[in-house]
Every structure is written in structure tokens, then in C-alpha cells.
Structure 1
Amino acid sequence: MKTPISITAISSLSALGADETIIELGYSNSKHSLTLKEIGGQKVWVGHLTKKEKQAITTLRNSDSKYKNLDDSVLFAIYSSRKAIEKAGWKSGDDFGVNIGSSRGATSLFEEYHRSYLKEGKTATLTSPTTTLGNISSWVAHDLQSKGPVISHSITCSTALHSLLNGIAWLRGGMADKFLVGGSEAPLTSFTLAQMKALKIYSSSNEEYPCQALELEKKKNTMVLGEGAAIACLEKGVSDKAIARIVGIGYATEILEHNVSISSDAKCFQDAMKMALGEFSPDEIDAIVMHAPGTIKGDVSEYQAIKKVFCNKTPFLTTNKWKVGHTFGASGMLSIEMAILMLTHQRPIPVPFIAYKSLPDSFDKIMVNAVGFGGNAVSILLSL
């Protein structure tokens, strides 16, 4: 990349927790963080926030009368954004851009308002302003009093990494020096789960690991939904505070053959990964944090794409969806956080039920993948 971009902080909220030390410890063990929860009259596997983080979100909601009517997806983003800028040394009121996206947006609030409308034939005054996708970035910008551009979007499950691409574009274009980017999702509602079950991709497993993400021999789909947010601080140039550098970016889409599918060898991923590699040799990549949602076709097609690009030297492959679930629009940035942990501590985070021939003992460059419905793929290449 011609213009160096530094990640100077990252903060997340997921089934692993929100504290940096606890998240690191969570990734160092082989236990998943998924739980059985009754939603819509059925017990299902989900990755929901811990009791401590749920209480923190409740405290945030009650801290300001304007926040009482906001969806959890907005509050998750505000909570993580505050922590991210504190880590980066940014201050409220600084001149930085905000681009935080979501696949579904205010899912719970929208369903609540719709139920009320069906019952009463009318809806509350705040229904529209509190259920738009632009609601997330706008409220984060309000909370942090940022003076830069405010952008929101949804590109389904690759949303967070598209936010990162947008931030890089603004920084490269000289229109900003700092950008807050990421994704937030609160999808654990009965209607959202019903949609995933209608696609026949949701886990009904009774095995030790309900989500078999990256298990290429599985016979059933095992996707599990998770909630959370992940936010990163981007700065133009090579910063002394950098926790990682972005050294390659790639993106691609496929011509739709089906509303939710990508090709058997994920041509979109092949193109995105090749673009992210740039002038680097495939042999220089030490690991790939895969999108790997836990579905049969999704996992295999991404793996086939990797084989096409990396040929005989496949990097160490891993994913975090077996541990925290698939957080839709936030998932890509949670994968970025996982990659940064491996770079920082020079320690692999393997999938416990995968038989690796060997594990790497050092990392220089790690690629992170994400893709949304219809083949909107993004690949990000990180280094220290």
C-alpha cells in the first residue's frame, strides 16, 4: 500500500466479554463461549453477552434520557467506541470520521415497533429515527462529539471490513487523518433466528462444539448467531502507537446465481485475496482468519478459494465463529482483533476440533477474510 495505515486501538464486545485481558484469556483456551438460550419459545445456541457486559449496556442506557429509546446495536457501538478512542488517546470532540455499519441494524427495536403496529394500527413517534441503519454512526458521533464525516452502511456480513475500507479511502484521499471504523450487531431475536432457520443453516447440534466452523467434513450446517460490536481506530501513516499496520486490502463481488450463495470455489474471495496480496508472495502469509460461518458450502467454498490462491503452501487457517458465534456485520472486525492478538503475542489461536499437521510459532503477516450474502468479499492483510 502506498499510504501506510495504522490501527492504533481496537475494542470489542462479544460473548468473550469486553475486557482486553479476559478476551485474550478466552482465546487461549479450547472452550467455546456459546450458550443455550430460549428465544421465541425454542432453546437455541447463541453467543450472547456476559452478565457483566449486559449490565454495562443497561448502565449506559440509563445514563442519558436520550439513550433509553435506542436499540442494543447502537449502545454496543457507543460502548465499544468509547473504549477504543480512550485506548488510542483520542479525545471526545476531536476531528475524526466515524463509519460503523450493521447488517441488520435495530433488529429488536424494529420488531418491537412492528408488533405494536400490528396490534394497535399505529406506532410510536420515534420509530423511524431509531430504526434506521444510519442510527448507529450518528449516535456514536453524537456521543463522542466527533467533528469529522459520519457514514453508515450495510453490506451484510462483510460490513465491518467495508467500514475499514471506507476509512482507508478517506485517509488516503487526504480528507481525514483519523477514522473510527467497525460494526455492531444485536441479532438475537426470534424473527432473525427464524430467518436463519428458514435458510436451513442454523445449528441443531448436541456435540461438544455446536458450531463446527472450519470443519470441512461436516454433514450438517452449524451456524450459530452471536451479538456484539468491534471498533478500530485508524490513523494515516506509521504511528508509534500502532498495534498493527494494514499492508494490503482487497475486495470483490460475484454475479449472483442465488440470493445467498457464492460459487463453489468462491471467486470473490480469490479476487479479494489476490488484490490484498499485491506485490507480496503468497508464501509470505503466515495465517488466514477465515470468514467460515459454520455452513457446509460457506466453509468449503472459502477453503477452495484459499487453495486456488495459495496452491501448495496453505497458511495456518483459523476462525473465531466456533467460539463467539457469527455476529453478522460485526464479525469481520472481531476477526481483525483475533489476528492482532496472534501478531501481538506471536501465538496461534487454533480451532480445537481441527487436526493441524503443525502450528506456526511466529507471525509476520496475517490475512483476514469476510463475505456477505451474494459474494461481497473483503480481504485485509495485517502486519506489525
Structure 2
Amino acid sequence: MSKRVVITGLGIITPIGIGKDIFWEALINGKSGIKKVKSFDTSSYRSSLGGEVDDYNPEDFLSKEEIDPLDRSSQFIISTTIMALKDAQLKIDEFESERVSVIIGTTTATQSSFKNYHDAWVLKGYDSITLESVSKYGHESIHNIISNKYKLTGASVLMLNACAAGTYAIGQSYDLIKSGKADIVISGGTDAMSELAFCGFSNTRSLAKEACRPFDKNRDGLVVSEGAATLILESYENAISRCAHIYGEVIGYGLSCDANHMTAPDISGEGASLSINNALFDAQLNIDEIDYINAHGTGTSLNDLMETVAIKKVFGKKAYDIPISSIKSMIGHSFGASGAIEALTCALVLENGIIPPTINYNEPDPECDLNYVPNKSITKDVNVTLSNSYAFGGNNASIIIGKCKN
């Protein structure tokens, strides 16, 4: 018999706030964390906008000895994990270590450290390479730092499915607990600001010049961002046995591949709609039971049109009745972290009965004609949420999170 999977702890770092309470307050009030990038020179790029986390201090969470060998992405995810475990009131050492796993998603991973490593090699020569720079460059630090810190001997996995990686991570964590192979999974996603990614999106003319405007007629691109989120997933039985607070229950998960193009979405929406339908089938829900959709909503012309088409394919006329919002309008696109941040957002929507807005929405697009919760949050009793993530390579992931019923 499959096990139920619930969310009991949340930790988050974003450009609009660190910690779930500060993040949530900023989100529902439509606060933007997008501004001029400070961490590198953007003068040669199409845009100077980015979503940087200015008020993060790793020393608030880690000792200097722990910080030094870690890339910023790894610092982010261990910090959100510390927050999430505290929020869950979970004493991890009280559980069998082999029954606790770690699954984290990322896209750029340790690219910022790789650039420093490369620059040192090219400019200063082989002898300038230190053990510290090598350890920061290794992707394995992102997930293994959590396993090592808490002496967890269950599965330790890094998902690299581009911008859907955070959702893949949570979905795989759900599968692991559902199948009885784990009792608890520390799951989420992380990505730090990457000049390499910024350069790539600039060269493909995908960066927004003035603002991220998902679904707006005048949208002109995405905003590169950074951040991390950790969700503590555990079996329902485990959570109940320790009287844990439950934010929501993961009840369905679906994947698909466009099998079409390495960077462009399939504008027919076939792949994206398939992932939604797969999630609905897994959850054994019908379309009338979805109360809110957290859109991938990057603000690019093709992505937002494709997602609108996909939602209409699945929900038909019902699509016009479902509130849909893109929080990337406020925090930008944090790649592998975005799916985890958006799943966490869905948990808070269930908890608080408030749907965050899509800001910067000024002129409706006749081809994107659904309810995108323009500019102001709305109050609504939400029982079931759907969150979509779409990525390069045609990787599509959809996850359904609902209120936990006894």
C-alpha cells in the first residue's frame, strides 16, 4: 500500500525575503526584488536587471569553517535546510539515518565558482588552483553537504533537469516516500546568480529590458535571479506520530518531454499539457478540483503563450475560472530553485488562503486571455494547487499539492 506524503517544514531564500514569513508578506503585497545587478558588470549585455539576494549572510547559519569550502548555491541550500528543519521541529538525529534522504535540484549549480576556477587557471596558471577552489567547483557539494552535515545515509541525489529541476526533486522525493523507500526527504532547489547564464540568455535576446511581465502583451523576456527553497517531506504516519504541523499534502506528480527542441518550447502545448494530465492521473483528480495554478510564467513570448495553450488543452472552459499567477514577476527566474520556491508558495497559499499576484501586468494579450491575478493578491479558500515547471530540452514537470485531510 502506498504511503501519503506531507510537507512539514519550509525554508526559503529569495530576492524579496529570507525565511517563509518575510517572503510571504512581500509576495502577497506584490513586492519586487528585481533591480540592477551588482555582482558583475552588465554593461555589455542586453539588460542590467536581475534578482539578487542582497541581505543574505551565510554566517547567520554556518560557521566560517563550514562556509569557506562552499559555493554560494551550496550555502543557500544548507541555509534553507536549517530553516526548514527548524520550522518542522524535526530532530533529524532521532530517526534512522538510512530512512532519511536528500534530493535537490539545480541548473547552474556551481557555475560561479567554476568561472573563478577557470579565470585563475587562465590568468595565473595551474599553480594558482587550490583545493578550496576545486571543492567549490564540484556539483556534489550541493546535496552532499546536507547528507554530510546531518550524517544521513539514505539516497543523496542531485537533479539537473534545467529549470524544472526543483520540481523534479520534489516529485522524486514524493515517489521515494510513497513507495516506502524513505520516511523523510529533505528536498528543494538552489541556484546562485550566474554570469555565464546571464550572458547566454542575453545572447539569445531572452532578457527583459525593464521588467518581468508574464502574460502581458508587452512582455519581452525573463529576469535572471537566484535563490533556494527546502521543503521537508515525510510520510503522513511519521508526521502524525510526532504531532507535526502539516502545510499540505503532495498528491500528484507528472512528467513529460516535448522531444522537440533544445531551447524553444513546443508552442502546441502538447508536452506541457501531458505533464499536467499525468499529475492529475497520479492524484486521481478531475479538472474541477484544481483551485489555483502557479504558472511557470517566465515572461518570454513563447513560454507564456505555450503555457496558456497547455492549460486550455487540459481544462477547457474551466481554465477561465482558475486563478493563475507567476511569482517570477516579483522574484525573477532562479532556474533550478524556481520549482521548489513555487511549490513552497503553493503550500503557503493552502495555509493562508491568499493567492499572490502577477505584477507588472498592464496590457492583456489576446492570446493569453486567462485570469492571471493581475497586480493584486486575492483572498480565496484553496484546497488543491497545481505548479508547473518547464525547462530546456523540453523537460516538463507538474506537481499537485493539496490540503491534508485526516
TM-score, normalization by structure 1: 0.91
C-alpha separation between the residues in 2 aligned to 1:345 and 1:60? 27
Task: Determine whether 1:195 maps to 2:214.
Answer: no
Task: Determine whether 1:68 maps to 2:75.
Answer: no
- Percent identity of paired positions between Structure 1 and Structure 2: 22
1:213 is aligned to 214
C-alpha separation between the residues in 2 aligned to 1:199 and 1:58? 37
1:261 is aligned to 264
Matches within 5 A, 1:281-360: 281-314=286-319, 315-354=322-361, 356=371
1:255–1:347 distance in 2 versus 1, CA, 3 Å: same
C-alpha separation between the residues in 2 aligned to 1:169 and 1:21? 28
SS of aligned partner of 1:112: helix
1:232 is aligned to 231
- Determine which structure has the larger helix proportion and give its number: 2
Task: Determine whether 1:158 maps to 2:173.
Answer: no
C-alpha separation between the residues in 1 aligned to 2:294 and 2:61? 32
C-alpha separation between the residues in 1 aligned to 2:275 and 2:60? 41
One-letter code aligned to 1:180: I
The answer to whether the 8 A contact 1:316-1:360 is kept is no
1:248 is aligned to 252
SS of aligned partner of 1:352: coil
The answer to whether the 8 A contact 2:32-2:330 is kept is yes
Counterpart among 345, 365, 376 of residue 384 in structure 2: 365
Deviation at residue 143 of structure 1 after TM alignment: 2.0
C-alpha separation between the residues in 1 aligned to 2:348 and 2:312? 25
Deviation at residue 92 of structure 1 after TM alignment: 4.3
C-alpha separation between the residues in 1 aligned to 2:372 and 2:401? 24
One-letter code aligned to 1:201: S
C-alpha separation between the residues in 1 aligned to 2:33 and 2:7? 27
C-alpha separation between the residues in 2 aligned to 1:198 and 1:152? 28
Deviation at residue 353 of structure 1 after TM alignment: 4.1
C-alpha separation between the residues in 2 aligned to 1:2 and 1:28? 35
One-letter code aligned to 2:399: I
SS of aligned partner of 2:12: strand
Deviations 1:315-340 (A, max 9, x none): 11111101011000000011112112
Deviations 1:284-324 (A, max 9, x none): 11110011111110111011000110000111111110101
User: Bigger shift: 310-319 or 18-27?
Assistant: 18-27
The answer to whether the 8 A contact 1:134-1:153 is kept is no
1:357–1:373 distance in 2 versus 1, CA, 3 Å: closer
1:342–1:235 distance in 2 versus 1, CA, 3 Å: same
C-alpha separation between the residues in 2 aligned to 1:357 and 1:250? 23
C-alpha separation between the residues in 2 aligned to 1:357 and 1:379? 18
The answer to whether the 8 A contact 2:330-2:359 is kept is no
One-letter code aligned to 1:89: Q
1:11 is aligned to 11
Deviation at residue 343 of structure 1 after TM alignment: 1.1
Counterpart among 119, 125, 142 of residue 123 in structure 2: 119
SS of aligned partner of 1:313: helix
C-alpha separation between the residues in 1 aligned to 2:37 and 2:132? 30
The answer to whether the 8 A contact 1:290-1:368 is kept is yes
C-alpha separation between the residues in 2 aligned to 1:160 and 1:41? 27
Deviation at residue 35 of structure 1 after TM alignment: 1.3
5+ residue gaps, structure 2 = 365-370
User: Bigger shift: 14-23 or 329-338?
Assistant: 14-23
C-alpha separation between the residues in 1 aligned to 2:201 and 2:359? 25
Counterpart among 268, 276, 280 of residue 277 in structure 1: 280
One-letter code aligned to 1:267: E
RMSD: 2.0
One-letter code aligned to 1:104: T
1:108–1:15 distance in 2 versus 1, CA, 3 Å: same
SS of aligned partner of 2:278: helix
5+ residue gaps, structure 1 = none
One-letter code aligned to 1:185: D
SS of aligned partner of 2:255: strand
C-alpha separation between the residues in 1 aligned to 2:58 and 2:269? 38
Task: Determine whether 1:141 maps to 2:147.
Answer: yes
C-alpha separation between the residues in 2 aligned to 1:285 and 1:6? 18
One-letter code aligned to 1:295: T
One-letter code aligned to 1:177: D
C-alpha separation between the residues in 2 aligned to 1:76 and 1:165? 21
The answer to whether the 8 A contact 1:251-1:272 is kept is yes
